[in-house]
Amino acid sequence: MVLHTKSHESADPSQQRLPVNFLILGADRVGKSALTVRFLTRRFIGEYGEIETVYTHNVAVDGTEVCFNIWDSLYSQNREGTTLPTEQQMRWADGFILVYSICDRDSFEVARRQLQQLRRAKGGRAPAVVVGNKRDLCHRRAVSGEEGRLLALASGCGFLEVSAAETYHGVLLAFHQLLGLVRESKTVAKKAAGLRGIVRSVSAVFGGKRNKVTLGTQGDDACL
Ligand SMILES: Nc1nc2c(ncn2[C@@H]2O[C@H](COP(=O)(O)OP(=O)(O)O)[C@@H](O)[C@H]2O)c(=O)[nH]1
Ligand SMILES: [Mg+2]
């Protein structure tokens, strides 16, 4: 079940609006809901239940009203043993946060597999940030910071280690890092679309001229 919830509405209707869809991925109990709720409310509650939710949250960032749609997913395995993300989720999302717990090596492997799935489906184009959560449990660390950083680097993603339990700042940085990557990719896509438009117009003009020349030649031939 996916619930939809809304946080505060835009205060200034004249402000530029940017909607972004973020999908939060990762194994069970790594802190996906904790990270999401921390970003939305600045609070850490402790227990979050097993509810899949899409939150909507409007925030002003650098003069733009950013409308964050955040899908806090549930980790599940289908009969073939393949895990999320689903086709529908991948089509929906502009950006991905892949969460693992630094004290759970299996969860790191899940994040690695989900990242591979993502890259296979969307190529290098999908903006993503790998997040190692539960940094406050350093004494139980099972995944080094280097490993996390290397995984992210190899897949062209951002990387951060955070503690949803202890601080808001790291969580905020992770969401904003992803926002930066999504904005970048939207600008590149817009430029590419603009360029394709120019190429289409130019080829229409020259294509038209070429037709005219051909017709003219035929006309000349007809005069002879
Ligand atoms: N120590 C610690 N516990 C955390 C942290 N983030 C989440 N948790 C705990 O980990 C458990 C699973 O968190 P939850 O957000 O429900 O995980 P999800 O299944 O990935 O959504 C809960 O008991 C949380 O209180 C963290 O940064 N540090
Ligand atoms: Mg959850």
Please give the pLDDT value at position 210: 57
pLDDT band at 11 (very low <50, low <70, confident <90, very high): low
Separation of CA 129 and ligand 2 centre (Å): 18
Q: What is the mean pLDDT of residues 66-88?
A: 79
Please give the pLDDT value at position 215: 47
Please give the pLDDT value at position 200: 74
Q: What is the mean pLDDT of residues 111-136?
A: 93
Separation of CA 13 and ligand 2 centre (Å): 33
Residue whose CB lies within 8 A of the most ligand 1 atoms, among 33, 71, 108, for a mutation test: 33
Please give the pLDDT value at position 16: 84
- If one compares 15 and 171, the residue with the highest pLDDT of the two is 171
Measured from the alpha carbon of residue 39, the closest ligand is 1
Whether 110 has a pLDDT exceeding 80, the answer reads yes
Please give the pLDDT value at position 18: 94
Q: What is the mean pLDDT of residues 8-36?
A: 86
Q: Could you read off the pLDDT of 194-222 as tens digits, one per residue?
A: 767 777 777 777 776 555 555 444 444 43
Overall residue count recorded for the chain in this entry: 224
- 136 close to ligand 1 (CB < 6 Angstrom): yes
Whether 2 has a pLDDT exceeding 90, the answer reads no
Q: Could you read off the pLDDT of 153-174 as tens digits, one per residue?
A: 999 999 999 999 999 999 999 9
